Amino acid sequence: MVVPQFRKAVLSQGVTLVAESHPYVRSVSIGVWVKVGSVNESPSLNGVSHFIEHLAFKGTKTRAPQQIATVLEGLGGDLNAFTEREVTCFHATVLNEHIDIALDVLSDLVVNPTFPKSELERERKVLLQELSMVEESPEDSIYDSLFRQIWKGESLGQPIIGSRKTIQGLSRSMVEHFFEDHYQPANIVISVAGGIEFEPLRERCEHYFRFNKPQQKLNLKRHPVHYHQRHWFQKSTSDQLHCLVGFEGVGVRDPKRYAYLLLSFVLGGGMGSRLFQEIREKAALAYSVDCDFLPFAETGIFTIYTGMSSRSLGKSLEILSAEFEKLRDGDLPMEELDRVKGQLKGMILLSADQMEARQEALARNEILFGRAIPVEEVLASIDAVTQDDLRQAAKELFVPEKESLVVLSKNKPKLKKLSVFQ
């Protein structure tokens, strides 16, 4: 078996390059990661990172929008981008023989966008349509609603897309200034995985990622994030009731993160999970049951989502309460823990064969930890989690003072209080 080879370099202008060579594959996945997202935005600029991600595809100094859209597509490749709360990523997957054109296009997007005024106004309308879609999808909007309340007044609580007011208020100069401030070499990580040789790759990246503007000192100081406990009802036109329970968690660098992640798999990590079996299969109370642990740089949130009829809420909360109590009491058989460990490790190993997943892992590990974390180290960390680790995590996580809860429905639920802890 050929072992993938990892290499890292800092380019002459300060861009970080991380790469993993997989000589047995013909594809290459490339990600250009900018350490900026909605968490870096002031309230009046909320949504600007996402706006820039869209606008980069609307014209550069050397390419028109249609050229950007078709150049890799015509080679069987893929070009896309996404914005999160803490990062923005432009990524491409191509055959390794087309790596030069992929690097050329990606560098164009992050170095040379022109933000044409006509395209800006056109894309503003597209973003407003996207916002309407989110607002009309309770399964999506409920998360923004929760984050906005539990991190009220903090940038982490802002929606990635922004609000109708901020999208309408973003001018070309505001976009350009934010871009100039954050799209700088020291703030960029290029991540590559696939059939590549490192030295030719480094030389190509030096050639394509050349910034002509003078570099400024980055002011990316982050402030501590404060969690605010909230319980509330929000009126909705949806026929179904949507309930999202959240508990203050830990950040992505916390050693307890693996215990929290395994807890999320025990409760809602698939059809064999406790909540899926108890709420959907046995009690037939809900169609959608989902559990996630979402860690960020400074904090995290553990969420349980259920979509159901309004009459099912009380019983669903009772089941949640009972399962929390079992986990706090250490009611977790070794066979069950081994099963969820096997599920998580299998997912990680399967994704290790996908170049897109590998380049994403390389980038996130570099941004968050400053190093490559081998798959074997992750698997060992999962194996090291004990039954007592999960019991301790449940005891500190599933407590009334860390709970927040939001319900979206046509009518206010007839419960004594909106809480798992009745």
What pLDDT score was predicted for residue 242?
Answer: 96
Cα–Cα distance for residue pair 270/284, rounded to 1 Å: 16
pLDDT tens figures, 300-328: 999 999 999 989 999 999 999 999 999 99
Position 422 in a domain? no
Same domain? For 187 and 251 the reply is: no
Same domain for 266 and 331, yes or no, is yes
pLDDT at 218: 63
Both 191 and 298 in one domain: the answer is no
Kindly report the three-state secondary structure assignment for every residue of the chain. Answer: CCCCEEEEEECCCCCEEEEEECCCCCEEEEEEEECCCHHHCCHHHCCHHHHHHHHHHHCECCCCHHHHHHCCHHHCCEEEEEECCCCEEEEEEEEHHHHHHHHHHHHHHHHCECCCHHHHHHHHHHHHHHHHHHHCCHHHHHHHHHHHHHCCCCHHHCCCCCCHHHHHHCCHHHHHHHHHHHCCHHHEEEEEEECCCHHHHHHHHHHHCCCCCCCCCCCCCCCCCCCCCCEEEEECCCCCEEEEEEEECCCCCCCCHHHHHHHHHHHHCCCCCHHHHHHHHHCCCEEEEEEEEEECCCCEEEEEEEEECHHHHHHHHHHHHHHHHHHHCCCCCHHHHHHHHHHHHHHHHHHCCCHHHHHHHHHHHHHHHCCCCCHHHHHHHHHCCCHHHHHHHHHHHCCHHHEEEEEEECCCCCCCCCCCCC
pLDDT digits (tens, 9 = 90+) for 277-297: 999 999 999 999 999 999 999
Q: Does 220 fall in a domain?
A: no
On the CB side of 374, CA atoms within 13 Å amount to 7
Give residue 223's pLDDT band: very low, low, confident or very high (50, 70, 90): low
Question: Tens digits of per-residue pLDDT, 228-249?
Answer: 999 999 999 888 999 999 999 9
Q: Does 346 lie in the same domain as 315? A: yes
**Could you tell me if residue 259 is inside a domain?**
yes
**pLDDT (0 to 100) of residue 346:** 97
87, 146: one domain:
yes
Question: Each residue of 141-194: pLDDT tens digit?
Answer: 999 999 999 999 999 999 999 999 999 999 999 999 999 999 999 999 999 999
Residue 187 included in any domain: yes
193 and 269 both lie in a single domain: no
Percent of the chain whose predicted confidence (pLDDT) is above 90: 92
**Domain finish residue from 152, 173, 208:** 208
Residues 236 and 197 in one domain: no
Sign of CA pseudo-dihedral 62, 63, 68, 73: negative
Q: Are residues 202 and 277 in the same domain?
A: no
**Percent over 70 (pLDDT), the chain:** 97
Q: Is residue 417 part of a domain?
A: no
pLDDT value at 216 more than 90: no
- Specify the CATH number for the domain of residue 63: 3.30.830.10
Q: Are residues 157 and 297 in the same domain?
A: no
| Whether 341 and 258 share a structural domain | yes
Question: Per the structure, how many domains does the chain have?
Answer: 2
**pLDDT score at 239:** 85
Model confidence at 360: pLDDT above 90: yes
| Confidence check: pLDDT of 272 > 90 | yes
- pLDDT, one tens digit per residue, over 36-71 is 999 999 999 999 999 999 999 999 999 999 999 999
Q: Range of 361's domain? A: 231-409
Per-residue pLDDT tens for 342-359?
999 999 999 999 999 999
* Same-domain pairing of 138 and 252: no
